[in-house]
Structures are given as C-alpha cells and as structure tokens.
Amino acid sequence: MTLYGVGLGPGDADLVTVRGREVLERADVVYSPGRLSRSVATEYVPESRVGDLDFPMTRDEDELRRAWKDAASEVAPRAREGTAAFVTLGDPNVYSTFGHLRRTLSTFHPDVAVELVPGVSAVTAFTTALGVEVSAGSSLALREAPRGTAPTGPDRMVLFKVTDAPATHERLVDAGYDVVYGRRLYMDQGETVVTDDPDDLAERDYYTLAYAERGDTGEPPATAAFDATGPHDGVSTDGGLTGPARTELAEGEACGDEVSHR
C-alpha cells in the first residue's frame, strides 16, 4: 500500500494538521526518528502502534547509510502490506530526516508507494512567534548556523541549528544584522524563549533558530501608508495616499493569499 511521510508541525500536538492526524489514526504502524516526534505522535497513536528504528548519532556517512538501509528494510514490508507512516517535526521536505528514508526506499525498494503530508514548518511558524512579517515582494533565505557560524549575504535570513547563539550573534552583528531568536517555538516539550539577547540562550539547544535582517528590506506594502492617528478614511495626511489605494493588477499578480481583486 503506502508509506506516508507526515509532518507533525513544530511540536505542539494541536498544530498537527487534520490530514496528518487522520493518517496517523489509520496507519498500521507509525515510525518516528526521535523522542520529540514520538511524543507528538503518541497524542494520536497508541504506543503499541509505534515502530522502532535505530538512528546512530554520528556524522560517519558509511554508518548513516547502513542505518538508513536497515530502516528502509524494516519499513518497506510494512508499507507493502498495509499503511505505514514516518513522522518528522515540521515539514517532511524541509531539512528533514524523511528525505533520507525516501531516497533509500527509491533505491532499494522502488515498488513502495510514498506520499507526503505537509506540516507547519519552523520556516513559517517563526514569523508568527517572532512577530516578523514577510510581506509580499520581499525575499527570505533559509540557511544553517551551527557551532557559532554565521552565514551572511541575503538581507533577510532564517537560520536553523543555532547551537552557539552568542558566537553566531557576534558575527551577525559585525556584518550589520539585527537578530531575534526563537527556541522551542510552539513546542509542548521544554521552555519556549523569544529574545534578542543571545546570552539568554547560552545553554545549547538544537531547537533554536534566528531571524536576521539588515539594510533596506524592500518597498513598504501599500497598507503601510495607513496612519492609525489620522482621519478615519484611514490614510496618512502627510503626503501619503488620499483615497483608496488601488493599483490595477493582472489576475494572479497580487500575492495576497486567496484575495480576489475585481
């Protein structure tokens, strides 16, 4: 039948999607790569249906390949005879262990059907948790900053794997960035921290990300001209717009989700 790669979201059980929950509830077996994803999955699946896979904590590529080959050999027959699921935190296609399993299956067990259920990724959840608006027309790069490193270049970056926040911070500030951090955002397990002070995060925690921004981040959106203190036709009186802000757009050109422009 099918192996489902199910994204669980950032860690709060109620941020699992309805579709993800349905798949977990009907799966014959649910595999998880770690303790956190297991604790989210078991909100919807009894322990008796959770399967065990062994993943070594190593960067040795031969050892990793052996582990994924073994994992695929365990999962493949269960997915052929019924419904199996493999859960990951966030989205299964964003910096995720699920990619290893999918590649290994397609090489050694190509007959196994694989389907994905997207999850709420930290790439998008951070915006709400940190109060960042990524407005239409701006760009955002996703990078990693492990062990005190600090990639630079793009004007807006979300950085995963910030394991040494003080060292990463120093480098980013030297390069002209303002930085905000989020740890264990929307996560039932452990303490959630949102801060711009890297010393609050001196203790290492893998579930830490940073948002870094510098310079001119693009054109202000049309609604930035609204002035809350101004008259109630809602638009700034100091040279801003004086009537409804209306730009003629070709169909589909506006990037407002599900807003139709007539």
Ligand X SMILES: C[S@@+](CC[C@H](N)C(=O)[O-])C[C@H]1O[C@@H](n2cnc3c(N)ncnc32)[C@H](O)[C@@H]1O
Q: Does residue 86 interact with ligand X by CB under 6 A?
A: no
Please state the φ and ψ torsions of residue 134, each to the nearest 5 degrees: -95, 95
Write down the least CB distance from residue 245 to ligand X, Å: 35
Q: In what order do the strands lie in the sheet with 178-183?
A: 141-144, 156-160, 208-213, 178-183, 193-195
> What's the distance, CA 21 to chain centroid?
18
Q: CB-wise, 104 or 121, nearer to ligand X? A: 121
Q: CB-wise, 31 or 160, nearer to ligand X? A: 160
Other beta carbons within 10 angstroms of residue 102's beta carbon come to: 20
Q: In what order do the strands lie in the sheet with 113-117?
A: 50-51, 29-31, 83-88, 2-7, 113-117
Q: Does residue 186 interact with ligand X by CB under 6 A?
A: yes
Helix (H, G, I), strand (E, B) or coil at 185: coil
Q: Does residue 165 interact with ligand X by CB under 6 A?
A: no
The interface region with ligand X, picked from 61-69, 74-82, 170-178, 184-192 by CB under 6 A, is 184-192
CA–CA dist 65, 77 (Å, integer):
19
Options 51, 64, 74, 95; binder of ligand X; rule CB under 6 A = 95
185 exposure class (CB count in 10 Å sphere: 0-12, 13-18, 19+) = buried
215 exposure class (CB count in 10 Å sphere: 0-12, 13-18, 19+) = exposed
Q: Does residue 88 interact with ligand X by CB under 6 A?
A: yes
Residues facing residue 208 across a β-bridge:
183
Q: CB-wise, 20 or 90, nearer to ligand X? A: 90
Options 161, 217, 225, 236; binder of ligand X; rule CB under 6 A = 161
Options 24, 72, 94, 212; binder of ligand X; rule CB under 6 A = 94
Number of amino acids touching ligand X (CB under 6 A): 24
Write down the least CB distance from residue 179 to ligand X, Å: 14
Q: Does residue 32 interact with ligand X by CB under 6 A?
A: no
The single residue listed with the structure tokens 């202000």 is 220
Options 78, 156, 169, 184; binder of ligand X; rule CB under 6 A = 184
Q: Are strands 193-195 and 178-183 parallel, antiparallel or unpaired?
A: antiparallel
Write down the least CB distance from residue 65 to ligand X, Å: 18
Q: CB-wise, 100 or 161, nearer to ligand X? A: 161
Which residues contribute to the site for ligand X (CB under 6 A)? Answer: 10-11, 88-91, 94-96, 121-123, 160-161, 182-187, 206-209
